[in-house]
Amino acid sequence: MKKIDEVAPRVLACTRCGLHLSRRNAVPGEGRGDAEIVLVGEAPGRTEDETGRPFVGRAGGLLDRALAEAGLDRSQVFITNAVKCRPPGNRRPTGEEVEACSVHLAEQLDAIRPRVIVALGAVASSLLKGCPTRVDSEPFAFRGIRVVPTYHPAAALHGNRMAVGRMVSTLRAAKEPTRGSC
What pLDDT score does 1 carry? 52
Please give the Cα distance from 170 to 118 (Å, whole number). 8
What pLDDT score does 178 carry? 60
What pLDDT score does 111 carry? 96
pTM of the full predicted structure? 0.94
- The SS3 call for residue 105 is helix
The answer to whether 118 and 80 have CB atoms below 8 angstroms apart is no
| Residue 2: half-sphere exposure toward Cβ, Cα within 13 Å | 15
What pLDDT score does 143 carry? 92
Name every residue whose Cβ is closer than 8 Å to that of residue 81 and which is 6 or more positions away in sequence.
27, 29, 40, 41, 42, 43, 44, 54, 124
What pLDDT score does 181 carry? 42
The domain spans of the chain are: 4-175
**Which superfamily does CATH assign the domain made up of 4-175 to?**
Uracil-DNA glycosylase-like domain (3.40.470.10)
Q: What parts of the chain have a pLDDT lower than 70? A: 1-2, 178-182
